[in-house]
Structure 1
Amino acid sequence: MLKELARVEEEIETLRTVLTSKTRHASDLKRKLGITVWKEITEDMNQGIKNVRESSVYQKTESVFKSTAEKTSSIFEGITSKLSQMKNSDSMRSFEDKFSGVLQKTKISSRSGSVSSFTEENNGTSTGNLDGKLQP
């Protein structure tokens, strides 16, 4: 048994030596052919991505996403169309006219105690606060 163990260990060492020699030879050939580690990794990644894209799970998932995107797009187009129709309606224009009139007449009080109209705030002017003093 000891002789057999010694023979097996010697064969293992011989195989390691041969493997190391073959690995160096392969590396030299790759270098001469211009095959770099980066190129090998890139090719492996591309092949992996290709395999995933060709899988049935990916195909089914992609199909579901496309269908969902189409339905969602269709829904948003409908909503946009309806909102556009509402915005251009006579009742909405009447509401906008009334609302903008109310906003122009309304005074807005800030935390500092200053009071100004909504239109003055939007124009960048201010009437100051009620007592004329700056407050923190």
Structure 2
Amino acid sequence: MEDTEKGSTQHPDSVPEVGEDAVTSVGPSPPPPALTEEERQELQEELLKVEDEIQTLSQVLAVKEMHLADLKRKLGITPLSELRQNITKSWQEVTTSTAYKRTSETLSQASLKASAAFSTVGSAISRKLEDVR
């Protein structure tokens, strides 16, 4: 525990990592700026308004998601068919990529060269076997 305390005192201005508790890693925050009662009331009202908007948007999103699921159900679109469609689309994107085309060409050339080499080795073995007879 001592090492972690030393680490935080050595770098008091360090920025907390994503997911790190800023309160424990950086230390006490500066006091909020002095606000008049009127400013505080306005900010409080704005906060309530934004929270209300977020709640409304969440409700609208939930309704839209239910509607989407209902439309998909009526059209017979299942999660499996969506997955199949996504895989097909992804495979088409892969096969049309430059990297895939280059790799495919290289493997094709390697296959031709390997076939030729095996054929040459096979012919050489056949000739040697004929010579032995």
Give the TM-score normalised by structure 1: 0.65
Number of aligned residue pairs: give it: 91
1:13 aligns with 2:70: no
In the alignment, the residues of structure 2 paired with residue 32 and residue 15 of structure 1 have an alpha-carbon distance, to the nearest angstrom, of 26
In the alignment, the residues of structure 1 paired with residue 63 and residue 77 of structure 2 have an alpha-carbon distance, to the nearest angstrom, of 19
Instruction: Specify the alignment match of 2:37 in structure 1.
Output: none
Kindly provide the CA deviation profile for residues 94-126 of structure 1, in whole angstroms up to 9, marking residues without a partner as x. Answer: xxxxxxxxxxxxxxxxxxxxxxxxxxxxxxxxx
The structure that is strand-richer by fraction is: 1
In the alignment, the residues of structure 2 paired with residue 26 and residue 87 of structure 1 have an alpha-carbon distance, to the nearest angstrom, of 73
Instruction: Specify the alignment match of 2:64 in structure 1.
Output: 22
Runs of 4+ off more than 6 Å = none
Tell me the CA shift for residue 62 of structure 1: 0.6
Instruction: Specify the alignment match of 1:71 in structure 2.
Output: 113
Instruction: Specify the alignment match of 1:39 in structure 2.
Output: 81
- The answer for unaligned runs of 5 or more in structure 1 is 94-136
> Given residue 32 of structure 1, which amino acid in structure 2 is its aligned partner?
K
C-alpha RMSD of the superposition: 0.7
Kindly provide the CA deviation profile for residues 40-96 of structure 1, in whole angstroms up to 9, marking residues without a partner as x. Answer: 01100110111011000111011000000000100100110110111111xx12xxx
> Given residue 54 of structure 1, which amino acid in structure 2 is its aligned partner?
T
Instruction: Specify the alignment match of 1:62 in structure 2.
Output: 104
In the alignment, the residues of structure 2 paired with residue 47 and residue 5 of structure 1 have an alpha-carbon distance, to the nearest angstrom, of 44
In the alignment, the residues of structure 1 paired with residue 44 and residue 100 of structure 2 have an alpha-carbon distance, to the nearest angstrom, of 56
